[in-house]
Amino acid sequence: MKCLRCHGLMVREAIFTREGGIPVSRCIQCGEIVDKVVILNRCRTDFTLDRVVMRRRIAYRLIA
């Protein structure tokens, strides 16, 4: 797998907390760490940004 930030090599690791181990992917070049929560938050952010852009386009059409 390649890193989305720098296109470096991603390796699978586990981060250990009090609750147990969390599987993550870490880039060996830039240090980017990605887990399920990060991916879900990024998808949510992309979705809301798309909605904002759509609303702005609709508003612009109504004004123009």
**Residues spanned by the domain of 18:** 10-63
37 exposure class (CB count in 10 Å sphere: 0-12, 13-18, 19+)? exposed
Distance CA 40, CA 46 (A): 10
Strand residues in the chain grouped as ranges (E): 10-17, 20-27, 33-34
At residue 4, the pLDDT reads: 85
Distance CA 31, CA 14 (A): 14
**5 lies in a domain?**
no
Distance CA 50, CA 27 (A): 28
- As for how many domains the chain has, the answer is 1
Please state, rounded to an integer, the average pLDDT across all residues of the chain: 82
**2 lies in a domain?**
no
Average pLDDT score over residue span 21-34? 93
* pLDDT tens track for 3-26: 888 999 999 999 998 988 999 999
